Amino acid sequence: MTFSISLTVNGVRRDVELDNPRVTLLDLLRERLQLTGTKKGCDRGQCGACTVLVDGRRINSCLALALSHDGADIRTIEGVAEGGHLHPVQEAFIAHDALQCGFCTPGQIMSAIGLIQEGQTDGDPERVREGMSGNLCRCSAYAGITEAVLDAQKKLAEAGG
């Protein structure tokens, strides 16, 4: 038995046949759509490496069944730069040295974009740390990550205002 689903991934409609209803959104992105920017760290909801935006909200894609997201709008790290320009959060991560090995970085960036969109941090470093606490970094680049999120948040607010 196969299951047909249709997703919009980074603005492009993708029709996919699943032969197993238990395929995760993470595996669908990486193995079926070859979008390997989204990383598989723990594969059980503990590290945040697999964070993507689903209908604008950040989720751990390793915990999400692809079948449950028929019709969803998905954004991955491959889809955040636009018009040949990095996303402001990507620029801020570079400017603030917010990465070392880079394995956690796609998830950190997707989580940061989601956090900024949630609009709850109010430019407060402690709230940023709390909001990003689901994204682990084995290289412990946390100081730079917090600075990058705060900087990107400020720049996006200025650009929006």
The CB density around residue 2, as the number of other CB atoms within 10 Å, is 9
Q: What are 95's two structure tokens?
A: 């400017």
- Is 103 near ligand FES (CB under 6 A)? yes
Spell 55-84 as b/e; 16+ CB within 10 A means b. eeebbbbbebebbebeebebbbbbbbeeee
**Residue from 25, 35, 50, 92 in contact with ligand FES (CB under 6 A):** 50
Choose between 62 and 150: whose C-beta lies nearer to ligand FES: 62
State the nearest-atom distance from the C-beta of 158 to ligand FES, in Å.
27
Which residue is listed with tokens 């959060």?
Answer: 89
Query: Do the beta carbons of residue 66 and residue 6 sit within 8 Å?
Result: no
Binding letters toward ligand FES, positions 110-149, x by CB under 6 A:
---------------------------xxx-x--------
- Is 42 near ligand FES (CB under 6 A)? yes
Residues that bind ligand FES (CB under 6 A): 40-43, 45-50, 60, 62, 99-105, 137-139, 141
